[in-house]
Structure 1
């Protein structure tokens, strides 16, 4: 029987588009996860299949290079490639992928797949690679092999999270702190709304936001926008708005972490809403489905709501009283029906454990 490794998806409580600016993020791992059953091969071939996707991908590991594998299997192949590029002795594998992280919902199914693969391949190869290094390698696999210029948050959340805690991550230093995140004793729940909105121009727009931030940092003479303590005023309007989001979002992350440490859980609600407003107005990464969901949740009594993930589709999270979950979910469903949107999916989330060997 093959060994199995599991890695969770994630929800980012707050701290959006700050990770590639060396900033702060505050995700939790989800109970939803990707599982990878893995066994070594002695012929140097990587063979990958999925229980959710048709077909089988087979490629000699020596032939792995960016562009050699496309589609979902590229996330697996990219991890094997980046480990070999880093000088590790990695051979062939049989890998079977299964999971229940919703695809295309901004819950980091790709990072979960990378993380589970990285643990499986390194452990079966007898490699001693710590989880911080694995997160960096998995990020590089997605950046350089898949071609998605993501930051380090998603892989870190999947590999480093603890059950019942949010992960406060400094993406520059990779310093972490595990902040208790248990809403139930306060009578609260984290409601997740999968808007099922199709991602619109996400790759090009995501890259454009990242490029704008790097340009602004260069103009302002700082290594990254994380180094700014105040919002500058001498920038063109578009760059100013991008910078303002990053600077204020970093502040919101640190304030949220302090409120959670103090046990003042309801007080994080307005920060979640302020984050969404900044992402909508300054960073311009929301779409109508995300904005309608947030508006409906707040009107129904949510303490705070925001989009989560890269934007241009995906999910909204809301801090709601446990007794009001169904009312808030119904309000979103009704608002979507009025606007002619696809019916959303709604579920509640708790903070789960990070990646691990299952058997």
Structure 2
């Protein structure tokens, strides 16, 4: 599917017009939330660790109008189908089955359900979604949708919820209704993003601060390489990695792997089986890499963090085993063609890699990646630059 771009006034008017065509009246408003790139800190969030994502200039926009009843009517620019309908009073997340064509509707329906659980009187509503965040690319298209919908419904309901409360609502919707065991990083990045900044987030206590990236000052571009290998968080390897981390923490006698540092790894190697030890080692070192990346950004600038990105990818490939041949090829080719550092980003098993590339070398890196994929008979990846952008807001 190819969602419609909604950047700028023209896109806003187009989406409002599409909403009127679907529902016969204008929306009450339009709300927008960005996808995210995780600069570094992978799978550390649900281990109560440290992450460093930034919101990107790829967004999901929702046009929404309140109804006088308790019905939800959900549609999108990328399905063209009749709206999916649910009743807020009878929605049961344990028996939620919108069918394959409406699978995306679990995200807005889940947000509405979680708002109700939080004591917010959510009205029935009509919703039209448009997005240019690639689906399945590891750029948190789901969090962008959740945060846009949470912002819209909270405002329509008159609920005074702050950005972190809305982010947590989105995370609970993904956990409890969609069934994906994700942490809080994606929603926090989408809600709290700021131009030219990453969000340095402590996933144990929710504390955060924005760290300037200074990519322009360093003459660097963040290039996304979407391998077109789709992944899904709701099943498979992601859940297995989370279970392995929980087992490692239990055997090491700590509440979460955040409680371990590099000094504990020798003991861990004696206590844990080989696979669990590798999972634990990745988390311990990745937390350390996040903190060191922030120190580097603040002391020496973005041009100094390339080696940390490289080390993160090796750890995800070898210890956490969440990379794939296409991601490894993208990272290797980008580095060999001029990138100062590269790594896969997102939950893994497909999706995207990112590369920090000197601006003058961007075209050369893109050409080399396309050629490498073509030479191996692989699908041509999408490559595009992203900029750190603002978080969720009403348009």
Query: Shorter-chain TM-score: what band?
Result: over 0.9
Residue 279 (structure 1) aligns with: 316
- Indicate the residue corresponding to 2:236 in structure 1: 204
Matched length:
358
Displacement after TM superposition at 1:263 (Å): 3.6
How many Å separate the matches in 1 of 2:380 and 2:65?
40
Task: Kindly provide the CA deviation profile for residues 38-68 of structure 1, in whole angstroms up to 9, marking residues without a partner as x.
Answer: 1110111011110112321111111112132
CA contact (8 A) 1:189 1:321 kept: yes
Greater RCO (CA < 8 Å, at least 6 residues apart): 1
Partners of 2:37 and 2:212 in 1: CA distance = 15
Summarize deviations over 1:205-241 as a string: whole Å, max 9, x none.
1000000000110111111001101222221100000
**Consecutive unaligned residues in structure 2, runs of 5 or more:** 1-25
**Deviation at residue 201 of structure 1 after TM alignment:** 8.8
Report if aligned partners of 2:180, 2:234 keep a CA contact under 8 Å in 1: no
Deviations 1:297-334 (A, max 9, x none): 11112111000000111001011111100111111111
CA apart distance, 1:25: 0.5
Asked if residue 316 in structure 1 is aligned to residue 353 in structure 2, the reply is: yes
Separation in structure 1 between the aligned mates of residue 370 and residue 336 of structure 2, nearest angstrom: 13
Residue 189 (1) aligns with residue 221 (2): yes
Relative to the length of structure 1, the TM-score reads: 0.98
Write out the 4+ residue segments of structure 1 that deviate beyond 4 Å after TM superposition.
Answer: none
Any conservation in 2 of the 1:202–1:312 contact (CA below 8 Å)?
no
Shift of 1:272: 0.4
> Paired residue for 2:21?
none
**Counterpart contact for 2:257–2:284, Cα < 8 Å:** yes
Deviation, structure 1 residue 76: 0.4
Query: CA-atom RMSD, angstroms?
Result: 1.2
Q: Contact 1:34–1:100 (CA<8 Å) still a contact in 2?
A: yes
Name the counterpart of 1:158: 190
What secondary structure, in the 3-state scheme, does the structure 2 residue paired with 1:280 have? helix
5+ long unaligned stretches in structure 1:
none
2:49 maps to which residue? 23
After TM superposition, the structure 1 stretch with the greater mean CA deviation from structure 2, 226-235 or 19-28, is 226-235
Cα 1:120–1:188 change in 2 (3 A) is same
In structure 2, the residue matched to 1:63 is 90
The correspondence for 1:306, drawn from 323, 339, 343, is 343
Q: Which whole-Å CA distance do the structure 1 matches of 2:155 and 2:359 have between them?
A: 41
Secondary structure of the corresponding residue to residue 269 of structure 2: coil
Matched, 1:10 2:36: yes
Secondary structure (helix, strand or coil) at the match of 2:291 reads helix
- 1:36 equivalenced with 2:62 (yes/no): yes
**SS of residue matched to 2:204:** coil
Q: Which of residues 218, 237, 247 is equivalent to 2:284?
A: 247
Q: What is the rounded CA distance, in whole Å, between the counterparts of 2:230 and 2:374 in structure 1? A: 16
Partners of 1:263 and 1:93 lie apart in 2 by: 49
The answer to whether the Cα contact below 8 Å between 1:75 and 1:110 also exists between their aligned partners in 2 is yes
Q: Does 1:296 align with 2:322?
A: no
Query: In structure 1, what is the Cα distance between the partners aligned to 2:294 and 2:315?
Result: 19
Give the alignment partner of residue 269 of structure 2, picking from 233, 237, 242: 233
Q: TM-score scaled by structure 2?
A: 0.89
Alpha-carbon distance in structure 2 between the residues aligned to 1:174 and 1:200: 25
- Displacement after TM superposition at 1:93 (Å): 0.6
Q: CA deviation at 1:182?
A: 2.3
3-state SS of paired residue (2:89): helix
What SS does the aligned partner of 2:217 have? helix
Tell me if 1:218 matches 2:253.
no
